[in-house]
Amino acid sequence: MLLWAFGFIFFIFGFYFVLDEFYVFSYRLSTQQELKELKKIQNVLFEFQETLESGLVLNQDQWSKLQTLKPPWGVLAFESLKELRAQGGALLPTIKRIRKLAQEHSEFLKEARAKSVQALAQSVVCAALVPLFGVSLYLLLPAIKIHYGLWICVCGFSVALSLCAAIWLMKISERARWGGLRGSERAWILSSQCALERFLAFVRTGIPVDLAWTKSCEKLYQESPELSEKWGFSIWDPPHNYKRSDSARAYILNLGDQARKILSQNIVEGRPCLEQIETLLISFRDDLRANIQKELAILPVQALKPLFFCVAPSLFGLLATGLYLSFLEIGLEGFL
């Protein structure tokens, strides 16, 4: 029976370990693939930049390589540069801005991944702590071996609670890594910046500001329909009032409002708007990074909730059950 008990407990422990390792592996793999893609994008754009700065003409292979990049980068860079080329505009400023955007997005992913490692380590500890504690009590308290059926049931329930704690911790970590954005909204971080970069490229080709905004929002609708509808397809749409102004979601939605406000004022006053939109983008990136850093800073405190609500009851439940079974076996006098 002892072998069966050990086999069951170590099976649960192994299942736990494999599940956590699979999640961590898939998490790292997805981030690593995105970082590799961003590196590829930077290399392709750097090749474009070097070719133009050396006075050479871009060949068809270079354009094909640019077009096949992962969305939204390939679409953004290819369409923007093709439009500029058709209108006779300068390509280098747009190439440098898109390349800088890819570089900053890569640094953002690396920083967020590094700061969320602690929560992933805590989830692995949660997965290992309860089974190890159950095995220790099984070896220390002989009375448990007599009631091994009840003990296995209690261990299974405790392991299930600690599994919930591990999953909870990983979800908290992933949410903090993206500044509190939901899964469907995480693409907004990149799509919003690409939309404004595309707008700047349209304006540089000589397209009027209001039409450039409409065209960039139409392209944004193909990537993030909900965000484009919230931003509005016209610069004359009324602004929105969001309750939380310090969340990543509010920063992204307010970016569209602020851009439309700048464009409408500049149309009325007849002033250029490119520098103001570029400054707005820089400010947005700084504010968004500060917001995510704040979310990651309070992540260790938020990680205490799964430990208190799931792991601690599991450990105390195992201890109480072990003492209760010992009390039933040796009686009150022997126990005291």
DSSP secondary structure, 59-104, as one string: -HHHHHHHHTSSTTHHHHHHHHHHHHHHHT--SHHHHHHHHHHHHH
Q: Confirm whether 10 is domain-assigned.
A: no
* pLDDT at residue 134, rounded to an integer: 79
Q: Confirm whether 188 is domain-assigned.
A: yes
pLDDT range class, residue 308, cuts 50, 70, 90: confident
How do residues 47-105 score in pLDDT, each as one tens digit?
888 888 888 888 888 888 877 877 777 777 777 777 777 777 677 887 888 888 788 77
Q: What is the largest CA-CA distance in the chain?
A: 96
Q: Confirm whether 202 is domain-assigned.
A: yes
Phi, psi of 244 (to 5 degrees): -100, 115
Q: Confirm whether 212 is domain-assigned.
A: yes
The C-alpha atoms of residue 143 and residue 135 are separated, in whole angstroms, by: 13
Q: Confirm whether 308 is domain-assigned.
A: no
**Two tokens, residue 180:** 């509190």
Q: Confirm whether 267 is domain-assigned.
A: yes
Q: Show the domain range for 203.
A: 180-302
148-178 b/e with 16+ CB inside 10 Å = b? Answer: beebbebbeebbebbbbbbbbbbebbbbbbb
pLDDT range class, residue 39, cuts 50, 70, 90: confident
**pLDDT over threshold 50, residue 332:** no
Q: Confirm whether 238 is domain-assigned.
A: yes
pLDDT range class, residue 1, cuts 50, 70, 90: very low
Q: Helices marked H in 205-247 — which ranges? A: 209-223, 225-231
What is the model's pTM?
0.69
Share of the chain above pLDDT 70, in %: 82
pLDDT range class, residue 16, cuts 50, 70, 90: very low
How do residues 105-131 score in pLDDT, each as one tens digit?
777 777 777 766 666 666 666 667 777
* pLDDT at residue 187, rounded to an integer: 80
Q: Confirm whether 240 is domain-assigned.
A: yes
Contact 9, 129 (CB under 8 A): no
Q: Locate tokens 């995105």: which residue?
A: 34
Contacts of 291 (CB under 8 A, 6+ apart): 179, 246, 247, 248, 251
State the Rg of the chain over Cα: 28
When pLDDT is averaged across residues 141-149 and rounded to a whole number, the result is 77
Q: Locate tokens 């910046």: which residue?
A: 193
Rounded to the nearest 10 degrees, how much is the dihedral formed by the CA atoms of 249, 67, 85, 220?
A: -20
**Two tokens, residue 118:** 């602690």
The total of structural domains in the chain comes to 1
The C-alpha atoms of residue 152 and residue 157 are separated, in whole angstroms, by: 9
